Amino acid sequence: MSCNTVTFKRGTNFGSSTVFTPEAPPAIQTLSGVTVTSTIVDADRNEYDLTVVVAVDFLSFTANYSGSTADWAIGTARWDIKFSQGSTVFYSDTMRLDIIGQVTV
């Protein structure tokens, strides 16, 4: 992942689009056969699972939260993306979300 912190205004839709860039073999070359999961844990330790959809070419995916973000705790949240095959998580990355309140008047 190329960014470490994202500022997010709660009450809006949350989603992301990610391009998978494979490393040199023997690393996996596509997301075929890989399960991608993603969760956000807010400052109050509430967990929000994202819906992940891998593209048909297995080289990108989207992660979206389908519920309301209006009640997410303001402050620093952790956003985790995990990659697994079977029961083995072979890679994960965690980013920070700076969740701010609705400021538009």
CATH number, residue 36: 2.60.40.10
Q: What is the pLDDT of residue 1?
A: 46
Domain contains 96: yes
Does residue 41 belong to any structural domain of this protein?
yes
User: Does position 73 have pLDDT exceeding 90, yes or no?
Assistant: yes
Task: Tally the domains of the chain.
Answer: 1
Inside any domain, residue 87: yes
pLDDT in tens, 4-56: 678 889 988 999 999 999 888 888 899 999 999 999 999 999 999 999 999 99
pLDDT of residue 102: 74
Q: Is 49 within the bounds of a domain?
A: yes
Any domain includes 53: yes
- For residue 38, tell me if it sits in a domain: yes
pLDDT above 60 (res 2):
no
In a domain, 105, yes or no: no
Q: 95 lies in which domain range?
A: 5-100
pTM: 0.87
Q: 54-61: long-range contacts (C-beta < 8 A, 24 or more apart)?
A: 57/30, 58/20, 58/30, 58/31, 58/32, 58/34, 59/19, 59/20, 59/30, 59/31, 60/17, 60/18, 60/19, 60/20, 61/17, 61/18, 61/20, 61/31, 61/36
